[in-house]
Structure formats: C-alpha cells, structure tokens
Amino acid sequence: MSATALETLKAVLEPIILDPRYHDFLAILKAARNGAVYGTKVRFPHAFVMILLFRSGTLREKAQLIFRATKTHARNLAKFAIVYKATCLLLKSYGSTPGKEGPYDSFFAGLLGGYLVFGQRSRNGKISSVSQQIVIYVFARVVLALARLAVKPGTGLPGVSKPERSATISYYAWPVFASVSWGAVMHLFKFHAPELQSSLRSSMTYIYADSDHWDGLRNFIWHNK
C-alpha cells in the first residue's frame, strides 16, 4: 500500500475512532486486541521454555504444542476482555441507573466472563491446562489482595485492622504465606504429585526428583538423564 493510500485511510478512520459516540464500542475492540497481544507475550516464552526443555517429542510436535498454548492463552484473554467490557457497557446502559456504572457491575461482568471463557470444559470433558494456570494465578492474587484489605486500617476486619495490629500482621504475613505455600506444595509433590498442575509437576520433578539419580559425570553435570 502506497504512502498516499495510507494517509487517505488514516484520514477516513481517525475521525471515527476519535468520535465520542463510538468510544465505548471501540474500547471493547481494543480490549480484545490488548488481551490477545498480552496473552501472546506472556505465554509464548513460557511455553517455549517449558515445552522445549521438559516435553518429549520431535521439534515439530513441540512447535505445535507451543503454538497451541500461545493461541489458547491469547484467545482466552481476548474473549474475556470482550465479554467483560461488553457486559459492563450493557449494565451501565440498562442498569438501575442508566448511564452510570453500578458498584457491582465489574464483579458481575467478571463472573460472567470467568464462566463463559475459563469455566468451560473441552469436548473430552477436560479443563484446559492454560485456563487452569490463568485462573490459579488470578486466584492467588485475589487472596493476597483480600488479605491486605483484611488488615487495612479503616476497611479491614474489626480489631485486626487497628493500625498497630495491622502493621504487625503485614510484617509477618508474607513469610508465613511463603513458608506455608512451599511446605504444602512439597508435601503434595512427595505424596500426591499427580494432583499438581502438569507444568509445575514437571519442573519439580526435574529439580527435586531427577537430582537424586546419575551414573557418571555426563548426567551429573552436563545432562539431567
């Protein structure tokens, strides 16, 4: 496309995308775009390393797995962004006070998006490992945020959120959280490894189980097995 044609296209499109009348609808499209881009940036390097290093198979098979995981992550974040933003727009437009966002609109929009995008099973009845990882990541951040709110002066739990107690709890909360999390995951890995998420189980097997076995310098220093 020539520079002149690009300038003409820009002159046609810019007034549309800058028109306040279309802002809310275009925000949905941009949210989908951003979700897809972010999902690709996050998943591709993770899948590339994990699959290339810890999965067996040919390079072609590994490349297909990397592409599939990246596509799923990007698609899910884009779909969720569309559902969330569209639901918020509908609730804002047709809620109890039209034209104004309600205090729980974001919660209900997220609830619907979580169910439609991340809460569904595949045709074989399984839940996507990518969806599991995303939801578990979000859940962990929610727990941490709620824990901070619980001890935040003025908004937290009665008695717990007093300034002097809040500071003490906040100081010791993270060491306790970290130690309990690692103690629990190591116990599960030792006695109930199949219940852990597959990529976590693979990395832990590599570090903690495979390190118990070697028969020479080759697989003690240079190679794992």
Domain edges within the chain: 21-123, 151-225
pLDDT over 90 (residue 32)? yes
Quick check: helix, strand or coil at residue 202?
Answer: helix
Query: How far is it, in rounded angstroms, from Cα 29 to Cα 82?
Result: 7
Contact 96, 125 (CB under 8 A): no
Query: How far is it, in rounded angstroms, from Cα 135 to Cα 31?
Result: 19
206 contacts: CB under 8 Å, gap ≥ 6: 54, 224
pLDDT computed for residue 161 by the predictor:
61
**This prediction's pTM:** 0.79
pLDDT over 80 (residue 100)? yes
pLDDT computed for residue 159 by the predictor:
63
Average pLDDT over residues 84-109: 89
pLDDT computed for residue 157 by the predictor:
65
pLDDT over 90 (residue 4)? no
pLDDT over 70 (residue 176)? yes
Among 142, 157, 128, smallest CA distance to 69 is for 128
